[in-house]
Structure 1
Amino acid sequence: MTRSAMLSSWQMWAMLSAGFAALTAVFAKVGVDNINSDYATLIRTLVILGVAALIVTATGQWRSPGSVSPRTYLFLVLSGLATGASWLCYFRALKLGDAARVAPVDKLSVVLVAVFAAIFLGEKLSAANWAGVALIAVGAVLVAL
């Protein structure tokens, strides 16, 4: 596979996301050891804000705020609120539980995304896809026990 093909492959980016998410759980578990989980979430959020700003600046992707539609703003704000709530809950769970158990339960989001995408976005999954979703759900529950 060429470098260009790799950079445009959703599968490669998804695998990188999974790898970084795994590191997130391990690093966060150590990070919340001696501080409040909400404060830890704030620190993490500031780091992410800084990195995102650097990437947008380095790649010249800044846009005029007026060029973004109100609908886009609405859904990005809702996504941001959901992300914030997720992170606060995730860090609280890591503070209270084992990373090896918390992370799989958190990944039940995969199951919920499939259900929500089918209901709200009209996405169609095959029987094999739904079987995979069910296995993810069962696997997360078994790891959490």
Structure 2
Amino acid sequence: MWVLFSLSAAFLAAVVVTLSKAGIKNVDSSLAFAIQSVLILIVSWSVVIFQGNLPDVTRIERKAWIYLVIAGVITCLSSLCSFYALKLGAASRTSSLDKVSLVFSITLAVIFLKDKVNWQLIVGALLMAAGAIFVVFSSDITKKEEKAPASNQAQ
């Protein structure tokens, strides 16, 4: 079941990138993120209330609170960076490079969470990172090739 939810998250993230890129054309990236954050806040707390999990807030341990608050701040910083990158670059390029986070996630999970790794995980992560980087640079090559004939014709 986790695979279905992971794939759903990936698809929805792609939709978010597409809609966000369309929405920030004439809007400051930080303002766009703030608008989305308000909606995220409303929807997420609505889900918690609907599921009846609101009383569980009082049962969260102090250490968990600290981790969740730090993760929340870092999530905001990550999203602000993503929105700014999206404002400056093509959606296909910025979202591809963002996926290099997989390598960072695996590395941090091994170091801090003691996750186990095997050669398939390492090769897969490296292939995904290489693929993301390839997508980013192939877009640059395509743009250079598109510009080259136009400049040759002008001469």
TM norm structure 1: 0.91
1:65 Cα offset (Å): 4.0
- Whole-Å separation in 2 of the counterparts to 1:10 and 1:123: 18
Amino acid across the alignment from 1:93: A
Q: Which runs of 5+ in 2 are unaligned?
A: 138-155
- Whole-Å separation in 1 of the counterparts to 2:87 and 2:31: 12
Residue 40 (structure 1) aligned with residue 38 (structure 2): no
Residue 109 of structure 1 corresponds to which residue in structure 2? 101
Amino acid across the alignment from 2:136: A
Residue 4 of structure 2 corresponds to which residue in structure 1? 12
Q: Secondary structure at the match of 2:135?
A: helix
* Correspondences of 1:53-72 after superposition (within 5 Å): 53-63=45-55, 65-72=57-64
Residues matched between the structures, number: 137
| Residues 12 and 64 of structure 1, relative CA distance in 2, 3 Å threshold | closer
The CA RMSD measured in Å over matched residues stands at 0.9
Question: In terms of Rg, which structure is larger?
Answer: 2
Which structure is richer in relative contact order (CA contacts within 8 A, separation 6 or more)?
1
Summarize deviations over 1:1-52 as a string: whole Å, max 9, x none. xxxxxxxx11111000000010011011011111100000100100100110
Residue 134 of structure 1 corresponds to which residue in structure 2? 126
- Whole-Å separation in 1 of the counterparts to 2:125 and 2:32: 31
Quick check: which one's helix share is greater?
2
Runs of 4+ in 1 over 3 A off after TM superposition: none
| Aligned counterpart for 2:75 among listed residues 74, 77, 83 | 83
- Whole-Å separation in 1 of the counterparts to 2:116 and 2:59: 32
% same residue: 33
Residue 22 (structure 1) aligned with residue 14 (structure 2): yes
